[in-house]
A and B are shown apart, each in its own frame.
Chain A
Amino acid sequence: MRASFSHVFNVPALVTEVPMRGCSKKGVVETKFGSLMNFTKGGVQSISVNPKHYVFSNVFEVASQSKPYERVAVGRNLNYVLEAVRSEGTSPWYAANHDEAAIVMDGEVEVHLIQPDDFLLPVGKEGAVALAREPKGQRMGWMKIHRGHMALLPKGAAYQFHGAAPGVLLIQSIKGECTVEKWAKICQTR
């Protein structure tokens, strides 16, 4: 007869039901995502380094402390950036000379797109530019995206976000005039 571990050591078994290999049932699984209202931060536990070098932040915490549509850099690799954005209400119209991508980390947002015919961004201009008003041009359409969705913000198009309730976007872009860098405020420093 085989004794179980828990029997031998007289402690409660950790696993009472062994799931079948490779097929846990729906309802048993819990995939944990974060949100503006509910996030827990990890962190850098230093042994021999300066934690600042790991530029550690959390997009939900950053967005919880941001003004609507403030494009706060949470990652920078030379000129490339990842921006954490609190989507709430209606954003300015933006345009960029290169593709950008927006991943919804929390909430739901509409993206409206226009192919502008009343302006051209200067050649070589990098990053998103906030336009003073809605551009004239052909309406390209719109999309409604929520958590887990990734939208293309195509090169040359003007785009505007609208979120009925606060949400969080992560935008892949290049550092530009809208990019806000406040690393000391958002990152683990010790």
Chain B
Amino acid sequence: MSLAPLTQVRNKAVNPPANKLVSKLVNKQGYQSFQIGQFKFERDEYFAHILYPGNRHIVPIEAFLRALMRDIAWGFFYGTVNFDRVFGTINHYGTVEMFVGLNNTAYRSVHKEYVETFSSKDLKRVFEAVIEDWTNAEFDPFGAPAETGNAYGLKQGDNLKAVQRQRLSAKRMVGLPGDLKMRTEEDGFPVNRAFADVPQDKPELHPAPGFEGQVYAVNLFAHLSRSDVTWNPSVVSVVRDSLLCATTEEFVLPVIHGNDRVEWLVQFSDEIIWDVEDKITGMPACKVIMKPGDVAAMPADIRHCGYSPKRSMLLMWENNDGTLPHRHASGELAPYPVEF
């Protein structure tokens, strides 16, 4: 099915003045409401209400906070972050489009989608304010359901420590002197319950004097076993634009990620099942079952959601080359990485 060209149907609004970004109103459930551009965000005990010109979209609050947390932590990530089949953001690296119905065949066929463009900085600030106010004391949006408390109900404290976690990105390799630190017991990263059997030994290093930072290895699986977050890739090794992003996954990826380039997956441990769909229409494409040692590409024209029945270790391999989204969109590059 083909959709109407985007340019004919988008309602573009200009960026609002910065002083109008956040309005501090507290509703009877104790939560603030937030506004950016023509979008308004309200929460009650069970739902996030996304109000936009003409209508309102509702998302259960736990799902909304889990998705919002990823969108913030990933800096809007590569491409599209669909919170569900209706609402989401598209990263243009400096600006972000926030949309309702854009990647939804039914909305698009009757021109009911709505899109606004914001500066990434402004939208991030509003999203951070939302997650700080709407996350109650016992809920950690990064936690697996078995590890965290209740997201629902009246406003009850906050969990700033959880929602303000810093993004972890190695500049060269995790653990190198001056680079991203390994997770340790002393720094408050105990081995996760689901990885209690993962060996914690260290590589045997015998550097000659002066080569300590070059004859270097780390126990990557031990590092991952101590991850306190799910579905939150962090860069562990860098070769130019080639980024190895390691992550631990449990339960459901809280977003449906739409690629703007090819990304690769290497399953380190256990199993993840991916549902893959066409990026724009949502038409089912395939299921990808990944077991230890499996490698798969996720093409540039798909969106996907993953399911991890047991906490698992996943390597996401990304290409950070900023020219890729345009080269895929223009057709210069095929959506898949290898022709054979």
Cβ-defined contact, B214 with A172, below 8 A: no
Cβ-defined contact, B286 with A49, below 8 A: yes
Min CB distance A143 to B, Å, is: 5
Cβ-defined contact, B269 with A142, below 8 A: no
Q: What are the residues of chain A within 8 A of B199 when measuring CB–CB?
A: 148
Q: What are the residues of chain B within 8 A of A55 when measuring CB–CB?
A: 295-297, 336-338
Cβ-defined contact, A80 with B299, below 8 A: no
Cβ-defined contact, B203 with A39, below 8 A: no
- Is A166 at the interface (CB under 8 A from chain B)? no
Choose one: B206, B293, B295; the contact of A39 (CB below 8 Å): B293
Cβ-defined contact, A43 with B335, below 8 A: no
Count of A-B contacts judged by CB separation below 8 Å: 242
Binds A, one of B78-86, B118-126, B190-198: B190-198
Cβ-defined contact, A25 with B204, below 8 A: no
Min CB distance B261 to A, Å, is: 8
Q: What are the residues of chain B within 8 A of A145 when measuring CB–CB?
A: 203-204, 217
Min CB distance B163 to A, Å, is: 19
Cβ contacts B315-340/A at 8 Å (1 or 0 each):
10101010000000000000111101
Cβ contacts B263-286/A at 8 Å (1 or 0 each):
010111111000010000001111
Q: Which of A29-86 contact B (CB under 8 A)?
A: 29-34, 39-49, 51-61, 74-78, 80, 82, 84
Cβ-defined contact, A98 with B240, below 8 A: yes
Min CB distance A156 to B, Å, is: 9
- Is B205 at the interface (CB under 8 A from chain A)? yes
Cβ contacts B284-296/A at 8 Å (1 or 0 each):
1111111111111
Cβ-defined contact, B240 with A76, below 8 A: no
Cβ contacts B149-174/A at 8 Å (1 or 0 each):
00000000000000000000000111
Cβ-defined contact, B205 with A143, below 8 A: yes
- Is B253 at the interface (CB under 8 A from chain A)? no
Complex-state Cα separation, A22 to B215, whole angstroms: 37
- Is B207 at the interface (CB under 8 A from chain A)? yes
Choose one: B173, B295, B335; the contact of A56 (CB below 8 Å): B295
Complex-state Cα separation, A60 to B295, whole angstroms: 10
- Is A141 at the interface (CB under 8 A from chain B)? yes
Q: What are the residues of chain B within 8 A of A33 when measuring CB–CB?
A: 268-269, 292
Min CB distance A83 to B, Å, is: 11
Binds A, one of B27-35, B45-53, B218-226: B218-226
Complex-state Cα separation, A113 to B225, whole angstroms: 29
Complex-state Cα separation, A43 to B337, whole angstroms: 17
Give the bracket for the number of chain B residues in contact with chain A. Answer: 35 or more
CB nearest to B199 among chain A residues: A148
Cβ-defined contact, A42 with B291, below 8 A: yes
CB nearest to B237 among chain A residues: A101
Q: What are the residues of chain B within 8 A of A74 when measuring CB–CB?
A: 295
Complex-state Cα separation, A141 to B212, whole angstroms: 9
Cβ-defined contact, B146 with A151, below 8 A: no
- Is A95 at the interface (CB under 8 A from chain B)? no
Given that A31-B269, A54-B288, A98-B240 are contacting pairs, would A139 and B208 also be in contact in the complex, using a CB cutoff of 8 Å? yes
Complex-state Cα separation, A40 to B291, whole angstroms: 7
CB nearest to A22 among chain B residues: B147
Q: What are the residues of chain A within 8 A of B338 when measuring CB–CB?
A: 55, 76, 183
Choose one: A22, A39, A150, A154; the contact of B214 (CB below 8 Å): A154
Choose one: B172, B193, B266, B271; the contact of A23 (CB below 8 Å): B193
Cβ-defined contact, A59 with B295, below 8 A: yes
Q: What are the residues of chain B within 8 A of A48 when measuring CB–CB?
A: 283-286
CB nearest to B172 among chain A residues: A99
- Is B96 at the interface (CB under 8 A from chain A)? no
Complex-state Cα separation, A56 to B291, whole angstroms: 11
Complex-state Cα separation, A163 to B15, whole angstroms: 59
Q: What are the residues of chain A within 8 A of B294 when measuring CB–CB?
A: 41-42, 56-58
- Is B18 at the interface (CB under 8 A from chain A)? no
Cβ-defined contact, B194 with A29, below 8 A: yes
Ordered by A's residue number, 11 sampled pairs between the chains whose C-beta atoms are within 8 Å are A26-B197, A44-B289, A57-B294, A75-B266, A77-B264, A113-B211, A144-B204, A152-B176, A154-B216, A183-B338, A183-B340
- Given contacts A41-B291, A60-B293, 9 further A-B pairs with CB under 8 A are A55-B297, A115-B211, A142-B206, A143-B206, A145-B217, A149-B218, A150-B173, A150-B217, A150-B220
A→B interface (CB under 8 Å): 21-34, 39-49, 51-61, 74-78, 80, 82, 84, 98-101, 103, 105, 111, 113, 115, 138-152, 154, 157, 168, 170, 172-174, 183-184, 187
B→A interface (CB under 8 Å): 146-147, 172-174, 176, 193-199, 203-208, 211, 214-222, 225, 236-242, 244, 262, 264, 266-271, 276, 283-299, 310, 313, 315, 317, 319, 321, 335-338, 340
